[in-house]
Amino acid sequence: MILVTGANGNLGAAMLAALRAGGATAAGGSRTPGEGTRHLDFDDHASLDLTGVSTLVLISAGYAEDDQVVGRHKAVLDAAVRDGVRHVVYTSLTTAGDHLGFALAHRATERLVRVSGLPWTILRNGLYAELFGGLLMWAGNGVESAFGDGALAAVAREDLADAAAIIAANPTRHSGRVYDLVGTPITAEQVADELGVSHRTIGLDEYRRRLLDETPGLLPFQPPMLASIATGIRHRFLDGTTPDLADLLGRPARDPLASAVAAASATRPETGLYCRACFRSGSRSCDDHGSRPGEI
Ligand SMILES: NC(=O)c1ccc[n+]([C@@H]2O[C@H](COP(=O)([O-])OP(=O)(O)OC[C@H]3O[C@@H](n4cnc5c(N)ncnc54)[C@H](OP(=O)(O)O)[C@@H]3O)[C@@H](O)[C@H]2O)c1
């Protein structure tokens, strides 16, 4: 049986859907299990029962400090060895992302995978097109970002799910392989053009200030993580592409621009009635600020 962790996450859910559509026997692992899903919480070691699993798709559980993320992944890999898993597929970070703030946890996990003694496949996933689009900030009649005119070899999340499902369904032939799964380069300007709005570049200092001062709810590791994505794109470290994704899929990759545009569109204030502070904080009323309609 194939087991995909993070089953309620976007990538895990899409991967399970792809596996099942292809006729594979696959179960999910989740902190909040439902039908066909095992309870699996990396922070609760007692829940890490992988008996009966032949292929484990370990979806990275980021969103925490490095030591916590690496500790989570180590616990799952230890359980995989103990419970007789026969192959592990790990969703890592693109090679070009080595300097990003969250790269260390991925590379440390890759080391753990390699020394686990289990046959393995490492998927070095590029940054999602959905993430790129979602990080554009609406302001007035346009969008702003700290990406400058740098491009990102963005990849539609759905393609990463499809690629992982192909490997998980037939892991032996991909054993010991590292795939760099990136898409075609897109810029913030291109996303803005598709949306019919302008793009304005802000400096990294202003971006960092907004993250720290105007974005409530971010965890301490998140501002440097997001700033590292911006500087990586702005300084053109993330625009290189490889054929791995299309080769694995056996078809051209989905258009990342369309996914980025959809994500940016989804964060667009519906009426333009919100001031920037209210929009960022998630408030849906600007009464306190006396904003005029259309003023953001
Ligand atoms: N390449 C990129 O651009 C990019 C962007 C963002 C994140 N990522 C990384 O890729 C992973 C998958 O992306 P995604 O889009 O599916 O993210 P997502 O929708 O936020 O889902 C992440 C999932 O990780 C699982 N998870 C978190 N903490 C866990 C824990 N303690 N134990 C077990 N599972 C835990 C959860 O699954 P359950 O809710 O089912 O427990 C969660 O829903 C993320 O976790 C992150 O590490 C990559």
**Residue from 4, 31, 56 whose mutation best tests the ligand 1 pocket (most atoms within 8 A of CB):** 31
Q: Whose CA is nearest to atom 28 of ligand 1?
A: 61
Residue-wise pLDDT tens digits, 105-153: 999 999 999 999 999 999 999 999 999 999 999 998 899 999 999 999 9
Indicate the CATH number for domain 2-125+157-181: 3.40.50.720
Task: Give residue-wise pLDDT tens across range 21-41.
Answer: 999 999 999 999 998 899 999
Domain residue limits, the chain = 2-125+157-181
96 CB less than 6 Å from ligand 1? Answer: no
**Maximal CA-CA distance, the chain:** 63
pTM here?
A: 0.92
User: Counting atoms of ligand 1 from 1, which one is nearest the CA of 40?
Assistant: 33
Q: What is the 3-state secondary structure (H, E, C) of 233-252?
A: HHCCCCCCCCCHHHHHHCCC
Check pocket membership of 6 for ligand 1, CB cut-off 6 A: yes
Q: Is the CB of 222 under 6 A from ligand 1?
A: no
Q: State mean pLDDT over 245-272.
A: 93
Contact (CB, 8 A) for 28 and 7? yes
pLDDT tens for 195-219 read 999 999 999 999 999 999 999 999 9
Q: Is residue 290's pLDDT more than 90?
A: no
Encoded tokens for 167: 């490997």
Given a cut of 70, whether residue 291 has pLDDT beyond it is no
Q: What is the pLDDT of residue 48?
A: 98
Cα 119 to chain centroid distance, Å, stands at: 24
Structure-token match 């194939």, residue found: 2
Whether 224 shows a pLDDT value over 80: the answer reads yes
Q: Is 229 a pocket residue for ligand 1 (Cβ < 6 Å)? A: no
Condensed to tens digits (0 to 9), the pLDDT of residues 149-187 reads 999 999 999 999 999 999 999 999 999 999 999 999 999
CA–CA dist 96, 238 (Å, integer): 6
What is the separation of C-alpha 25 from the centre of its chain, rounded to a whole number of angstroms?
25
Does 275 score more than 90 pLDDT?
no
Angstrom distances, CA of residue 115 to CA of 98, 120, 176, 204 = 20, 10, 12, 38
Cα torsion 187, 103, 82, 174: sign: positive
Nearest-CA residue for ligand 1 atom 25 is 6
